[in-house]
Structure 1
Amino acid sequence: MIKGISKIKGLGVYDNYTRPIGTQEFGIKNLIYGWNYSGKTTLSRLFAQLEAKKLNHDLIGCEFSFETDGQPITEKNIEQSDLIVRVFNSDFIRENLHFEGSNFKPILLLGKESEDAQSKINDNTDRVKKSEITRRKLETKANDITQAVSTAKTEAAKNLRQLLKIDPYTATQLGNDIPIVGVLGFEILSEKVLSENIELALTPDNKKPSVVDRIETTPSIENIHKEAVTILAAVPTFANTIKHLEEHPEVERWIESGLHIHPHEGTCEFCGNNISENRLIEFRAHFSKDLAEHKQKVENLLQRVKTAEIKLSPPKEAEFNPQFRDTYKVAAEPLPKAIKDFNLAVKALADDVQRKIDAPRKLMEPTSLAEGLASAVTDVVDAINTVIEENNQLAENFSTAKAEATKQVRYHYVQQFVDSQEKAGYERKKTCLVQRRERLRTFAESLKKEIEELQDLISQAQLGREKINERLASMLGGEAIQIVVAKDPTTNQEQFKLVRKSGKVAKNLSDGERTAIAFSYFLTKLQELKPEDFKQTVVYIDDPISSLDANHIFQITAAIRAIFFKKENENSAWETTCKQLFVSTHNFEFFNLLREIKPESSRQGGRLFLIKRLSEVHSTLSDMPISLANYQSEYHFLFEVIYRFHQAPDKTDHTTLMLLPNAMRRFIELYTYSRLPGIMKETVDQRAEALFGLEKSKRILKVFHYFSHANTIDRLAGNNELIFDIEHAVKDLIEAITQTDQKHMDALIASL
């Protein structure tokens, strides 16, 4: 259920409307009163968007928010609304009722569906014919493309057969390969890979590639370096040492190397002097067993360091099958540098060990070792061996590899053919043509089905004419216009024709007749809803009594009562047959008649509202003022507008000024007529002159005669001197009635 409208922006006179604080929620029955141009029809158009579940093109840009039992309905989510809404307003009449002018056959097509139905039937029949012609043209174009693709496929298969010397290979085989490359997601080979595969595919069996030996090396320096760190840091123990020899290692080495030549005392072979036994004992003590063992350990380390040097002869590039040569070249490129870096590290370590041999008593530390020297070599060797393995695998499985190369080349050219076709757009064009052809076929079938449905729709519309005729007779009397069925001589379709009781064509329809016909159709249209759907429907009716006299207003009211309100029995309460009913009107008599229909109180679900124009772009929807709600006359409301202005401290307030001219003129007409109910030819000026005197009546009426015909803030704003007169005119009126009719004035003030 709709509980209220919290905001409206950018919609005619609702330029920036927000729900006034304290305004009651909508009930089951909602009556909205407002003068002409106050915004009633604009409000009904807002409800009509709920019916269409989309924004009216003329109202795009407006914002609104309906408060409901659930989530608010706004311009952003209106398409998701599940409310069932039906609206009667001037837009409904324009869209659903077509009255022929005097220059045309006076035919009335009731219902937008019926009016559009015959036009659509004619259009659809033409479209079916045109679609068949277009479909045949598309079929011819599609066949031409099929032939062009077939020719291109045959030529591509021929070229591939000649290139790879495979026979047979026809357009059929190529056609079988096309979905395969699609599933595989095959990509075009590079020029180099394609060349290598073609060379392999065309290589005779007697020229298959040779096997290349793997290269092996196990570079190791990290462990030896760790051992060198320990050994070079070691210093042997000595029982007795000769200081001079310690300080002169070269002399020490010379003596050590010659000590075994002179194991006993005697003459020195070098200098000729005598070497005593004691001196030999000193030398033997200096060169202890620990020193000998230490030197031996260092010398052994030196030999192992030297053997760590890498001496590797990689295979030559020419030894590989052509398709692996570039790969091998790339893989082997880092090898020389890796070996050089490794061997330089080995040489540096050997030099460090040699220095230890030369000076065994010194504490030494080998040069730091760079990380990854061995792995750099092994990684390159592994990469080379991978290429060697691939090369050897090709050599060992030559037949299989050759077949695979042939397949790769074949798929390459098949994919190339597919790409060329896609670039040329043949398949895409054919697909589009076929899709268009199928859409046209489906479209033609749907048109034929729609023609049948439209014909049924027209027939259904005819079924409602009796009910409409009953309402027309009730509203317009025995001489009412009636609807008869006529056959269109061109299409042989049934249509509605308006005739009078005499059978003559109904011409020159009055506004009242048009209003009665339109509202009768609307009520009948509502009955097309399923009963369970109608119970959930929100109905908005905007001024259905335009140009109708008092008797017809009673008929409209009775029709509304019969359709929208019911009692199960005399003792039961009144119920509304739809979910919610909204009726807006400018006619106070009609408003009062609707107010009498149960439920009438707020507690039972009846709500009374007033739409009031405050400025050129500002109207408001609020609760009905007490002066209107408590009395069955607009007279009290008119007085309230005048009296509020009289008491207002700021007489230039635009809200008051917009209402005042029409209210003042209407009030004076009613007041003077109630006091002087003379002959009909008397004017309001004459009656006012008789009651208030010539001078005062002129001052009271002059300004309101002028402004009540304008009804615009622009005219008010452009006449400042007359605005000043408004205040005095209102004051004169209040004083005149108070002086001549004190009880009447007191009663009016009390009613507020």
Structure 2
Amino acid sequence: MLKNIQKIKGLGVYSDYTKPAGTQDFAVKNLIYGWNYSGKTSLSRLFSLIEAKQSNPDLAGCAFTFETTSGLVTEANFDKSPLIVRVFNSDFIAKNLNFAGGGFEPILLLGADSETAQKEIDRCEAMTKRAIQRSQESKVQSDSLEKSLRDAKTSEAAKIKKNLALVAAYTATHFQADIVTVQLFDESQLLSADSYQADLKLALTSDQDRPTKVDEVSLSLELNSLYADIKAVMAKTPSLATTIDNLVKNPLIERWVESGLPIHKDKEICEFCGNTLDEHRLAELKAHFSKDLSDHKKMIDALLVRVQNAIINFSMPTEAELNAKFRARFKAGQNIAKAAISEYNDAIKALAADLKRKMDSPFVVADPGPITDTLELNVRESLNEINQAIRSHNLIVDNFLTEKNASIARLKKHFVQQFLDAFNMESQNAKLARLERNIKKFDWCSQKLQAEVLKLKAIISKAQQGREEINQRLETLMGAEGVQINVIKVGDQERFQLVRRDGAIAKHLSEGEKTAIAFAFFLTKLKELKPEELKVAIVYIDDPISSLDSNHIFQVTAMIKEAFFHQEREGGPWTTRCGQTFFSTHNFEFFSLLRELNPQKENLAKHFLVRRIAPNKSSFGNMPNSMFRYSSEYHFLFDVLHQFQKAPDKTEFNVLMLLPNAVRRFVELYTFSKYPGARGLTVDQRADRIFGPEKSKRILKVLHYFSHANNIERLAENNELIFDIEAAVNELINTIRTTDPLHMEALEAAVAQA
């Protein structure tokens, strides 16, 4: 059993902590209160070190001394300590749970290997087997009926396609779409004998008596873009750094030399004149035909291919393909197009000739021959005239097809109606629906039976037993619709996984859900300890109510009471189920609820306060009497103010570190008690109404400055402003004493009694 903490060094805010004189020893129930960032979690991590009995890199360099009933536990011997410690804090949550949908280590609890449970499992599994079998039988019947209908629809679709001589695809899918359409009509879609014959004759009319549709003419024109690219290339020259002037001035000789160079590779005698090859001269020639020149010629070659491909060479529709009344317009457009295309192609050929000249004289800068800007436009406009004639022609063709298509559509509906009548589709659909209901019913039964089997196996399976325990706690905290734990198989091992009530993997959990799940998991995991181990275990719980509302705080308190505190006999003394418990929190309501739990006697329950007294220093000691005596945070805050006002040395840091936030919180509670319904008002607005604008500003201005998150650093850097704090506190207390004397008398009396 732990007696006290004698010292802590190098642990976060406990840079150099020594147990203050008069600090009481730990009891079986220990409550620790402290505001955020005061050092509660750091304290829990020190307990975790003893739990793990191995070094933690995050706590490297930390030194500590615990006094226990069996000796001292320090950083040098903690790994050999016989103490059994279990800690709930943020590190426990991060280590043990997976909130992203994956599996995590299960809680293994001993179950009762019940013969009755096994018999019930056998019965449920037999019923599950029958339900699955009946579901499969219904599925076979449903599949058979659906296949019969699919085959009939496929056959009918093929018959319709053949009877109507349809060119376009008409499959069972199209037929099903027509069935849906026909079923929307109230009246039958069967045609009379005369209507049927008339529509069938029109549907089967040969197309030879009408013109066919003609495709419009479309061309890709590149003249203008090619001209710009060619102009840019002809303005470029390869690097002249190593060129031979004679070759530059004589392109024919240059090409001759360039073609001869590869022949003389590794040769010593000239193949042309028979003389000895001069190595220096060969080097000069090779340098002349540089990579830059080679790349330049490749660029010209690639551009020449584009130019040659840009020649317009295609077959236009003939006049005979068009309706007679559009042929004249088509002919006129065709003549214009031929002339425009001819000019366009001539310009392309001229550009090709310019490129070839550039190829022959790569070092000569020149411009391509000029082209008319409107050549592309002329071609497009002439093609547009041709396409206008084609579109007019196609419109007539479309009108002709409209009537024919209308007759085909009516015939399709007629054949679909015949099919529906012959197959009595209404009866077939009812049968399919009945089979589908049977499948769902049997599947639901098998799922319920399988769920029952899981519950029964929980009596036998350690993981399932742990699942049941934690799920009961989760239901208490979050209700019947909350998150649950499921047992899954990963290889040969059982794992836990978070799931919603519908079976979906639980992801994107709220912070409140995470807290509830983690605490339920921790309480259940304690049951892995053997009874004799739990009886001597030390349990430290750090803020288990984070992100939970007031209702859940009561539920968590009830769970703690049930898990840790009990009476060995009716009317007997209360004690803990484990060796010692430690609870740390920043929530005063939760602290008060825990304080009310038995045991409450001083020898069994002790109360401590953690507070920040310097930027890297916290104090851990006895809880002030005012805070212990009253359930109200309000009395404690006033006690802080009262101590400061009475303190002879106002610069003493252990008072100043609490003061700014304490005064601000005190003003919030006091002003709200005066205006309990004014939830929309800020603390400044309520203070203005009570103290008046001028006094309100004097009281709150400096406290606003120091009560921000970095108040410790600000206090350390602004010692000269301490007098402003003292003035603000005096102003506040004197104002309340003047305007609300009965209230002040009651507060001072409460502090004096404490």
TM-score by length of 2: 0.51
Q: How does 1:301-450 map to 2 (within 5 A)?
A: none
Q: In the alignment, residue 468 of structure 2 is paired with which amino acid?
A: E
Separation (CA, whole Å) in 2 of partners of 1:678 and 1:722:
35
* C-alpha deviation, 1:711, in angstroms: 3.9
- What is the DSSP-based 3-state SS (H/G/I as helix, E as strand, rest coil) of the residue aligned with 2:517? helix
Contact 2:51/2:84 (CA < 8 Å) preserved in 1? yes
Separation (CA, whole Å) in 2 of partners of 1:480 and 1:599:
33
1:538 equivalent to 2:503? Answer no
What is the aligned partner in structure 2 of residue 671 from structure 1?
670
Contact 2:469/2:524 (CA < 8 Å) preserved in 1? yes
2:487 aligned to 485, 488, 506, which one?
485
Gaps of 5+ in 1: 103-457
- What is the DSSP-based 3-state SS (H/G/I as helix, E as strand, rest coil) of the residue aligned with 1:620? strand
What is the aligned partner in structure 1 of residue 647 from structure 2?
648
What is the aligned partner in structure 2 of residue 522 from structure 1?
522
* C-alpha deviation, 1:89, in angstroms: 0.6
- What is the DSSP-based 3-state SS (H/G/I as helix, E as strand, rest coil) of the residue aligned with 2:9? strand
Gaps of 5+ in 2: 103-459
Separation (CA, whole Å) in 2 of partners of 1:482 and 1:2:
36
CA RMSD in angstroms comes to: 2.2
What is the aligned partner in structure 2 of residue 659 from structure 1?
658
What is the aligned partner in structure 2 of residue 469 from structure 1?
471
Contact 1:636/1:751 (CA < 8 Å) preserved in 2? no
* C-alpha deviation, 1:601, in angstroms: 1.9
Q: In the alignment, residue 95 of structure 1 is paired with which amino acid?
A: K
Q: How does 1:710-725 map to 2 (within 5 A)?
A: 710-720=709-719, 722-725=721-724
Contact 1:707/1:716 (CA < 8 Å) preserved in 2? yes
Contact 1:10/1:61 (CA < 8 Å) preserved in 2? yes
Q: In the alignment, residue 645 of structure 1 is paired with which amino acid?
A: F
Separation (CA, whole Å) in 2 of partners of 1:720 and 1:30:
36
Contact 1:4/1:68 (CA < 8 Å) preserved in 2? yes
* C-alpha deviation, 1:571, in angstroms: 2.0
What is the aligned partner in structure 2 of residue 617 from structure 1?
616
Q: Which moved further from structure 2: 708-717 or 614-623? A: 708-717
Separation (CA, whole Å) in 1 of partners of 2:475 and 2:657:
42
* C-alpha deviation, 1:494, in angstroms: 4.2
Q: How does 1:249-264 map to 2 (within 5 A)?
A: none
* C-alpha deviation, 1:750, in angstroms: 3.1
What is the aligned partner in structure 2 of residue 2 from structure 1?
2
What is the aligned partner in structure 1 of residue 33 from structure 2?
33
* C-alpha deviation, 1:11, in angstroms: 0.9
Contact 1:55/1:75 (CA < 8 Å) preserved in 2? no
1:94 equivalent to 2:100? Answer no
Contact 1:472/1:520 (CA < 8 Å) preserved in 2? yes
What is the aligned partner in structure 1 of residue 393 from structure 2?
none
Q: In the alignment, residue 669 of structure 1 is paired with which amino acid?
A: E
- What is the DSSP-based 3-state SS (H/G/I as helix, E as strand, rest coil) of the residue aligned with 2:504? coil
Contact 1:654/1:713 (CA < 8 Å) preserved in 2? no
1:552 equivalent to 2:552? Answer yes
Contact 2:28/2:575 (CA < 8 Å) preserved in 1? no
Q: How does 1:71-82 map to 2 (within 5 A)?
A: 71-82=71-82
Separation (CA, whole Å) in 2 of partners of 1:507 and 1:679:
39
Separation (CA, whole Å) in 2 of partners of 1:531 and 1:492:
29
Separation (CA, whole Å) in 2 of partners of 1:685 and 1:728:
18
Separation (CA, whole Å) in 1 of partners of 2:617 and 2:533:
36
What is the aligned partner in structure 2 of residue 504 from structure 1?
504
Separation (CA, whole Å) in 1 of partners of 2:666 and 2:602:
29
What is the aligned partner in structure 1 of residue 305 from structure 2?
none
Q: Are the structure 2 counterparts of residues 734 and 553 from structure 1 closer, same or farther at C-alpha, using a change threshold of 3 Å?
A: same
* C-alpha deviation, 1:461, in angstroms: 3.6
What is the aligned partner in structure 2 of residue 734 from structure 1?
733
TM-score by length of 1: 0.51
Q: Are the structure 2 counterparts of residues 744 and 61 from structure 1 closer, same or farther at C-alpha, using a change threshold of 3 Å?
A: same
Contact 2:31/2:606 (CA < 8 Å) preserved in 1? yes
* C-alpha deviation, 1:493, in angstroms: 5.2
Contact 2:101/2:498 (CA < 8 Å) preserved in 1? no
Q: C-alpha deviations, 1:16-38, integer Å up to 9, x for none?
A: 11111111110011011111111
Q: C-alpha deviations, 1:232-266, integer Å up to 9, x for none?
A: xxxxxxxxxxxxxxxxxxxxxxxxxxxxxxxxxxx
- What is the DSSP-based 3-state SS (H/G/I as helix, E as strand, rest coil) of the residue aligned with 1:98? coil
* C-alpha deviation, 1:720, in angstroms: 4.6
Q: In the alignment, residue 31 of structure 1 is paired with which amino acid?
A: L
What is the aligned partner in structure 1 of residue 85 from structure 2?
85
Separation (CA, whole Å) in 2 of partners of 1:751 and 1:572:
31
Q: C-alpha deviations, 1:139-170, integer Å up to 9, x for none?
A: xxxxxxxxxxxxxxxxxxxxxxxxxxxxxxxx
Q: Are the structure 2 counterparts of residues 585 and 541 from structure 1 closer, same or farther at C-alpha, using a change threshold of 3 Å?
A: same
* C-alpha deviation, 1:79, in angstroms: 1.8
What is the aligned partner in structure 2 of residue 238 from structure 1?
none
* C-alpha deviation, 1:496, in angstroms: 3.0
* C-alpha deviation, 1:473, in angstroms: 0.3
* C-alpha deviation, 1:498, in angstroms: 2.0
- What is the DSSP-based 3-state SS (H/G/I as helix, E as strand, rest coil) of the residue aligned with 2:94? helix
* C-alpha deviation, 1:645, in angstroms: 1.4
* C-alpha deviation, 1:649, in angstroms: 2.4
What is the aligned partner in structure 2 of residue 416 from structure 1?
none
What is the aligned partner in structure 1 of residue 188 from structure 2?
none
Separation (CA, whole Å) in 2 of partners of 1:44 and 1:622:
15
Q: How does 1:588-607 map to 2 (within 5 A)?
A: 588-604=588-604, 606-607=605-606
Identity rate of aligned residues, in percent?
A: 61
Q: C-alpha deviations, 1:561-611, integer Å up to 9, x for none?
A: 11111113322111211001111111111111111111112134x111111
Q: In the alignment, residue 21 of structure 1 is paired with which amino acid?
A: A
Q: Are the structure 2 counterparts of residues 721 and 694 from structure 1 closer, same or farther at C-alpha, using a change threshold of 3 Å?
A: farther
Q: Are the structure 2 counterparts of residues 715 and 459 from structure 1 closer, same or farther at C-alpha, using a change threshold of 3 Å?
A: farther
Q: Are the structure 2 counterparts of residues 618 and 678 from structure 1 closer, same or farther at C-alpha, using a change threshold of 3 Å?
A: same
* C-alpha deviation, 1:612, in angstroms: 1.3
Contact 2:588/2:633 (CA < 8 Å) preserved in 1? yes
What is the aligned partner in structure 1 of residue 686 from structure 2?
687
Which one has a bigger Cα radius of gyration? 1
Contact 2:99/2:508 (CA < 8 Å) preserved in 1? no
What is the aligned partner in structure 2 of residue 563 from structure 1?
563
Contact 1:696/1:732 (CA < 8 Å) preserved in 2? yes
Q: Are the structure 2 counterparts of residues 751 and 478 from structure 1 closer, same or farther at C-alpha, using a change threshold of 3 Å?
A: farther
Separation (CA, whole Å) in 2 of partners of 1:659 and 1:528:
41
Q: How does 1:257-272 map to 2 (within 5 A)?
A: none
Separation (CA, whole Å) in 1 of partners of 2:752 and 2:692:
27
* C-alpha deviation, 1:529, in angstroms: 0.6
* C-alpha deviation, 1:640, in angstroms: 1.2
Q: In the alignment, residue 482 of structure 2 is paired with which amino acid?
A: A
Q: In the alignment, residue 608 of structure 1 is paired with which amino acid?
A: H
Q: C-alpha deviations, 1:277-318, integer Å up to 9, x for none?
A: xxxxxxxxxxxxxxxxxxxxxxxxxxxxxxxxxxxxxxxxxx
* C-alpha deviation, 1:674, in angstroms: 0.9
1:585 equivalent to 2:595? Answer no
* C-alpha deviation, 1:713, in angstroms: 2.6
Separation (CA, whole Å) in 1 of partners of 2:462 and 2:99:
20
- What is the DSSP-based 3-state SS (H/G/I as helix, E as strand, rest coil) of the residue aligned with 2:71? coil
Q: How does 1:175-186 map to 2 (within 5 A)?
A: none
